[in-house]
Amino acid sequence: MNDSIAIAVQTPLIQTSRKTWNLWERIPHPRAYRLQTRDFEILEAVFRHRFLTLSHLTTLFGGKEGRLPLRCRILWREGYLERPKALRPNKVLTDKMVYALGKKGAQKLQELRHTPDAKEMLSDLASDIDIGELDWNETPKKQIGWPYIDHQLGIATFMVCLQSVAQQRGIDLRWSGHFNRRQDRMVVNNVPFLPDARFAIVDRNGEAAHHYLEFDRGNVSLQRMRERYERYFQYWTSHRGAKHFRVLTVTTDPAYMNSLRRIAQSIGSNSQYRSAWKGLWFTHANTYDLRYPEQILNPIWYYADNDTPVSLI
């Protein structure tokens, strides 16, 4: 995207004094700021993932970029980004600050949809909805809780690592983002359920491997997870054993991962086929890291009934 789409305001990037900076109260009359191409990319990334930290953005945009913290502070100051109020009671370090899209940022993305240079970047972002008209603002009666934010950040870490390594290695990764996930709803026996994310990895022959992500922090009972895995299996069989269908479960610790593997060992097995369904894959969040996103492609995944690790690609 060219810098020609930057919206003309008045002044260039200006360093903000650390002594006067406040994490939660905006400056009443900030200096005007000219949006740059990287700013639009930040807004698009935050919208795509729902919540991101500076660590996520640094991984997405490559290496150490000293201006990212300043850009995000200014985008927040100008109302393009928001900082969820659930973080206020915590002692948040600046690099751990969570950002969400603000109303002004949503309206800007909606404007850019009609700009030729930006269409490619925004082409798969919730094309059936008006981004700018969504209700973005928190109120005292409508605040986003920290458990939800933490869960979304776990999903974001996985997807950011995958996006980063896909860009580096030329992997065809197709994922339409958080706000498009409703179209991935699945129904089995009149019971709807929704994965945390669905993405496809397309090989050189144009064949797609479809992946359904379950990020589990251990707050769902094992019985409910068993029922969920059974629904995935029933959905797979109802689609005549669709090729390259994987359900990826990421937990926050190895012990819980192994508990889930044990309850999944009977899924798909019967008198004729003794092994567990090979569509269920398991790992834990300590096996990959935003600093080393390539780890996501290492042999870190396990089947329910086999201790030999396998890789995603």
**CA–CA gap between residue 20 and residue 186 (Å, rounded):** 50
Residue 307, helix vs strand vs coil: strand
Give the pLDDT score at 90. 64
**CA–CA gap between residue 209 and residue 99 (Å, rounded):** 31
**CA–CA gap between residue 193 and residue 245 (Å, rounded):** 16
Dihedral over Cα of 285, 287, 289, 294: its sign: negative
How far is Cα of residue 239 from the mean position of the Cα atoms in its chain?
27
Answering whether pTM is above 0.95, one says no
Q: How far is CA 260 from CA 16, 234, 280, in A?
A: 48, 18, 10
Alpha helices in 191-306 (DSSP H): 222-238, 254-264
Give the confidence band of 26 by pLDDT, cuts at 50, 70, 90: confident
CA proximity to 81, closest of 141, 33, 122, 136: 136
List Cβ neighbours of 90 (8 Å cut-off, separation of 6 or more): none
Give the pLDDT score at 8. 37
Residue 142, helix vs strand vs coil: strand
Give the confidence band of 207 by pLDDT, cuts at 50, 70, 90: confident
Torsion angles phi and psi, residue 55, rounded to 5: -65, -40
Question: Which tens digits make up the pLDDT trace of 274-285?
Answer: 789 999 999 999
pLDDT at residue 1 is higher than 50: no
Q: What percent of the chain has pLDDT over 90?
A: 48
Average pLDDT over residues 231-253: 88
pLDDT at residue 9 is higher than 70: no
CA proximity to 133, closest of 113, 99, 114, 110: 110
pLDDT at residue 28 is higher than 80: no
List Cβ neighbours of 308 (8 Å cut-off, separation of 6 or more): 302
Which tokens sit at 219? Answer: 């707050």
List Cβ neighbours of 258 (8 Å cut-off, separation of 6 or more): none
Give the confidence band of 252 by pLDDT, cuts at 50, 70, 90: very high
pLDDT at residue 3 is higher than 60: no
* 168 compared with 6, residue with greater pLDDT: 168
Residue 239, helix vs strand vs coil: coil
Question: Which tens digits make up the pLDDT trace of 48-105?
Answer: 999 999 999 999 987 555 688 889 989 998 989 999 887 776 655 555 789 999 988 9
